[in-house]
A and B are shown apart, each in its own frame.
Chain A
Amino acid sequence: MYQTTYHRPSSVDEAAALFAKGSESKYLAGGHTLIPVMKQRLASPSDVIDLSKIKELVGIALSGDALIIKAATTYFDILRSADAKKAIPALVHLVSVLGDPQVRYRGTIGGSIANNDPAADFPAAVVALDATVKTNKRSISADDFFKGLFATALEDGEIITAISFPLPAKAGYSKMRHPASRFALTAVFVTKTKSGDVRAAATGASQNGVMRVPAIESALKANWSPGALDNVRISADGLLTDIHGSSSYRANLIKVMAQRAVTAAG
């Protein structure tokens, strides 16, 4: 690791001000991506600004028709949240298959979506649940937030403060774990909204990161059942191929995971 200056601000405004001051600042949340690349000397931020101790960024609340999870809330806190479990059990299931206990104690929802790893779990939930990403500057809809591999709509220095998930009628998540990293080799989150709309998002599959799967959405909208997907064909075009899974295998997984997610959603 190269020399860096570590800051632990106590408010979002202070964090943003510190960020602006540094020549090459980076925000730190759970640190699962930033710290390893710093240790490998692949990143050398001038200033590391730790968001994880900012009290206004931590907490889970049910508010009307939405579950609001503040950005620095850890996976572990989501996992044990009665509100989350009651409101969107699929989200809690997603956390239960995310990483391992050590990861869940440190990792944060905001860190995950700000990083937008193409195989991370949370982007699929944010997109499928049509959540709104709230920042210190604005609100961004899920469909506008994710912009491809490790890219988001966030501007330089912008801080995610919370994610607001509208409560669905039904939701399910099914994940095929990557054998080595335990990220998603391919995972699918499906949602039936209270207005009867269907959204399905796959992570780990596409070369462009999290993606909606229109073929699955339309089939499920017509018939919300695993069997409705039997004859759906998912194209392998644009899907990832690597030593752990070919694009055709991932295309198959999108369908199979979607079917299992529907089964789980009930």
Chain B
Amino acid sequence: MGVEGIGASVVRKEDRRFITGKGRYVDDIKLVGMTFAQFVRSPHAHAKIKSIDTSAAAKMPGVVGVLTGKEIVEDKIGNLICGWAITSKDGTGMKMGAWPAMAPETVRFVGQAVAVVIAETKNQARDAAEAVVVDYEELPAVPDIRAAIKSGAPQLHPEAPGNVIYDWTLGDEAATDAAFKSAANVVSLDITNNRLVPNAMEPRAAIAEYNEAEEHFTLYTTSQNPHVARLVLSAFYNIAQEHKLRVVAPDVGGGFGSKIFIYPEEMVALWASKKVRRPVKWTGDRSEAFLTDAHGRDHLTKAEMAFDASNKITGLRVKTYANLGAYMSLFSSSVPTYLYATLLSGQYNIPNIFAEVISVYTNTVPVDAYRGAGRPEASFVVERLMETAARQLKVDPGELRRKNFITSFPHQTPVIMAYDIGDFGASLDSAMKAIDYAGFPARKDKAKSEGKLRGIGFSCYIEACGIAPSKAVGSLGAGVGLWESAEVRVNPVGTIEILTGSHSHGQGHETTFCQLVAERLGVPISQVQIVHGDTDKVQFGMGTYGSRSAAVGLTAILKAMEKVESKAKKIAAHQLEASEDDIVIENGEFKVTGTDKTIALPMVALAAYTAHNLPDGMEPGLKEGAFYDPTNFTFPAGAYICELEVDPGTGKTSFVNFVAADDFGRLINPMIVEGQVHGGLAQGIGQALLEGAVYDSSGQLVTASFMDYTMPRADDLPSFKLNHTTTLCPGNPLGVKGCGEAGAIGASAAVINAITDAIGNNRLEMPATPDRVWHAIHGNA
């Protein structure tokens, strides 16, 4: 490892521009002749649109266009799609209702767009949007899962009777039922996985420009995957052909999944830019983000675990209702199915698992992938069950887990996943040592003498990341392949550009990806530029989500690097009159091994481009590309232990200690990994203690601002103690697994397990607000 190579905590290259306010986000971009869009949004959760009168708005100062849902349908702009087909247990396909980018007839959630005003200034657009008169006929709304599945509940879509999108199962039901019949003990839990608002720091935004002469569109947008956006926009929405559409995702201020999806606003901006023949900008405000960004989680689950007399798990049975909101967002169908039920084996040897997932429509904003996406919900189910079982069976929670850990690899679970490697015992040992588990009883007693209720909670999570082998996801219904592409361009004077289909919106790719180049070529990272986020520059890419950028994106770069190095070695050998096999790369030089004969990378590059003296038949230039498709998911795993105190007078929780022992395989940049874990833990703890999206019975979002939606603040969080144990991922040459989602996946269960331990009442829903904890302590909930 060099000072900037793999394993070095190199300071992030991109932070200078971010922390000095020099980042270039979509809203920073100003085009000549640019106009501003303001959407007219439904104030009702469910209503028929009787009429829309745009005449007054159209006459307002500065207005260049007022467009409605009717017109977008008339122009044959396609409905939004869901890219993952799920088949119900009865063999039927998912029951998908139409989602036009603006509602022509019916609105199904508060905030759904019905019209858009385009004006010269943002304020003129806002003024005119207020002058659009929409006459609604209110319909009864179903704001949550329980309301949606009630017999006689109002129907959202004629295509989905009973508001059920699919009723899907995974695993062997008969074998699992048999395991429960012969079980010595059964543990069961009813679990609510609370609904979350993603709240990326930068709200969504889009600028669309239509070039009439070339019949070409450019879309600047807040996307985690601009190529996928281009693919979907061109293939399904009838707006522009792929070669006539450039999508640029410049600096993007966080996504957490919410910026994977194609949203109505960017479709409307593109369509409108051609209609009004002016560039159209839309920048969402925070209220629009709360109302219209795809939310996360929102499950109701009944889960049961069967044990034999020796406390070995013999079966797991799970029935989950998932709220997908009013429409099916791009990957929504896959989140509570293949990203959830496939992880229900956790870190444990469970011979029989059966899961049933029923996804339903409600009059709420669509729900889709949010940091962890299905895996936090699965981990929460398994780890809450394990802790509950330990209490019920009166065994130590660490010992119960250890007894059931998978210890030999590869391990095929009953729910599709084949774990490649791991050492779950090592992570648990590390975490227990870090928190001084042996000393806990004494600490609990001392706290009690001070009037505080102290508890400790474990969470041993596993996740499937590096998403994903294309063939595997294709067989499960995915509409796309999930490989990654890269191109390495060595310029004539030896500087290097790495073009990647991964997108960085906080992950630090501009640093970590350079570190691979520094490691292999020994050049300083200042000589390397990461190019991403522009479909005109990068050939293709599947983007960043599912902790995939290192395992898939960086491996693609490695594959391209290997091709570049191979060609460069041939050139160097030719120049040095040596055998190619004798060339080694050290400190930016190509060296004939065992001699002092060297040629520096810039000279090799120059030779490649002058092409005056290349090996016979070699093409000029030094640029190679690669597509990399992984052979398996990666399986980051770890153990989190949380120790906390509850104030019985107020129900307020205070952290004493939070330790994490993660196995991410090889770390490229430990400092960035640490930051990723901190952020993930903050979101996991946020879900456990603070965050919860609440709609009232009429479908109004109660938590529509930070006055009511509790975002974690620094003083809500403990100082984390992070440790790493390492098993190198055998599935990719770098041995990396991914670290972006782990904290959000593992933390919530540790926190809830600790609080329920402290208060001696296992019935506690997230977010465990002081109010809820106090009621749980005093038993009058």
Footprint of B on A, CB under 8 Å? 40-41, 176, 179-181, 185, 243-246, 248-249, 252-253, 256, 259-260
Contact = CB atoms under 8 A, between A and B. Distances in A.
A249 B707 contact: no
A256 B771 contact: no
B770 A248 contact: no
B650 A244 contact: no
A181 B690 CA distance: 12
B645 to A, nearest CB: 16
Contacts of B703: 243
A259 B451 CA distance: 14
B1 interface: no
A248 B780 contact: yes
A244 B702 CA distance: 11
Choose among A40, A179, A252, A253 the residue with the greatest number of B CB atoms under 10 Å from its CB. A179
B775 A249 contact: yes
A246 B771 contact: yes
B770 A41 contact: no
B771 A180 contact: no
Given A41-B126, A256-B650, A180 B706 contact: yes
B708 interface: yes
Given A179-B769, A243-B694, A248-B780, A256 B707 contact: no
A176 B126 contact: no
Contacts of B287: 40
A179 B710 contact: yes
A100 B97 CA distance: 46
A248 B652 CA distance: 16
Interface of B is mostly: loop
A180 B774 contact: no
A252 B702 CA distance: 24
Given A179-B690, A256-B650, A245 B709 contact: no
27 contacts: A40-B287, A41-B126, A41-B130, A176-B652, A176-B770, A179-B769, A180-B706, A180-B707, A180-B708, A180-B709, A180-B710, A181-B707, A185-B770, A243-B694, A243-B702, A243-B703, A244-B771, A245-B770, A245-B771, A248-B780, A249-B770, A249-B775, A252-B774, A253-B650, A256-B650, A259-B649, A260-B649
Nearest to A241: B771
A248 B775 CA distance: 9
B769 A244 contact: yes
Interface string B699-727: 00011001111110000000000000000
Nearest 10 interchain pairs by C-beta: A180-B710, A256-B649, A179-B710, A245-B771, A249-B771, A181-B707, A243-B694, A180-B708, A176-B650, A249-B774
A256 B130 CA distance: 47
Contacts of A185: 770
A14 to B, nearest CB: 30
Contacts of B694: 243
Contacts of B707: 180-181
Interface string B346-376: 0000000000000000000000000000000
Interface residues of B, number: 24
Main secondary structure of the interface of A (DSSP, over half): mixed
A243 B771 CA distance: 9
B420 to A, nearest CB: 41
A219 B568 CA distance: 87
Nearest to A40: B287
Contacts of A179: 690, 710, 769-770
Nearest to B689: A179
B708 A243 contact: yes
A181 B709 CA distance: 8
B705 to A, nearest CB: 9
B106 to A, nearest CB: 27
Contacts of A243: 692, 694, 702-703, 708
B710 A246 contact: no
A44 to B, nearest CB: 11
Nearest to A182: B713
Contacts of A40: 287
Contact of A181 (B649, B708, B774): B708
Interface string B557-580: 000000000000000000000000
B773 to A, nearest CB: 10
Contacts of B710: 179-180
Nearest to B648: A256
A122 to B, nearest CB: 18
Nearest to B287: A40
Contacts of B126: 41
Nearest to B647: A256
Nearest to A100: B713
Contacts of B708: 180-181, 243-244
A246 B703 CA distance: 16
A243 B770 CA distance: 11
B498 to A, nearest CB: 40
Nearest to B773: A249
Contacts of B649: 252, 256, 259-260
A175 to B, nearest CB: 11
A259 B650 CA distance: 12
A253 B651 CA distance: 10
Contacts of A260: 649
A150 to B, nearest CB: 15
B768 to A, nearest CB: 11
A40 B706 CA distance: 14
A185 B341 CA distance: 39
Contacts of B709: 180
Contacts of B774: 249, 252
A118 to B, nearest CB: 13
Contacts of A248: 775, 780
A260 B647 CA distance: 13
Contacts of A246: 771, 775
Contacts of B652: 176
B770 to A, nearest CB: 7
Contacts of A253: 650
Interface in B727-781: 769-771, 774-775, 780
A233 B62 CA distance: 62
Nearest to A257: B650
Most-contacted residue by chain A among B703, B711, B770 (CB, 10 A): B770
A245 B708 CA distance: 12
A131 B642 CA distance: 46
A40 B704 CA distance: 13
A191 to B, nearest CB: 22
Interface string B64-75: 000000000000
Nearest to B703: A243
A180 B710 CA distance: 4
A244 B771 CA distance: 7
Most chain B CB atoms below 10 A, which of A185, A243, A244? A243
Nearest to B702: A243
A179 B651 CA distance: 12
A233 to B, nearest CB: 14
Nearest to B690: A179
B40 to A, nearest CB: 14
A181 B707 CA distance: 5
Contacts of A256: 649-650
Contacts of A181: 706-708
Contacts of B651: 249
A116 B126 CA distance: 31
A181 B126 CA distance: 27
A245 B770 CA distance: 8
B701 to A, nearest CB: 12
A216 to B, nearest CB: 15
A96 to B, nearest CB: 13
Nearest to A255: B649
Contacts of A41: 126, 130
Contacts of B130: 41
Contacts of A180: 690, 706-711
Contacts of A252: 649, 774
Instruction: Tell me which of A40, A185, A249 has the highest count of chain B C-beta atoms within 10 A of its own C-beta.
Output: A249
A225 B694 CA distance: 40
A129 to B, nearest CB: 24
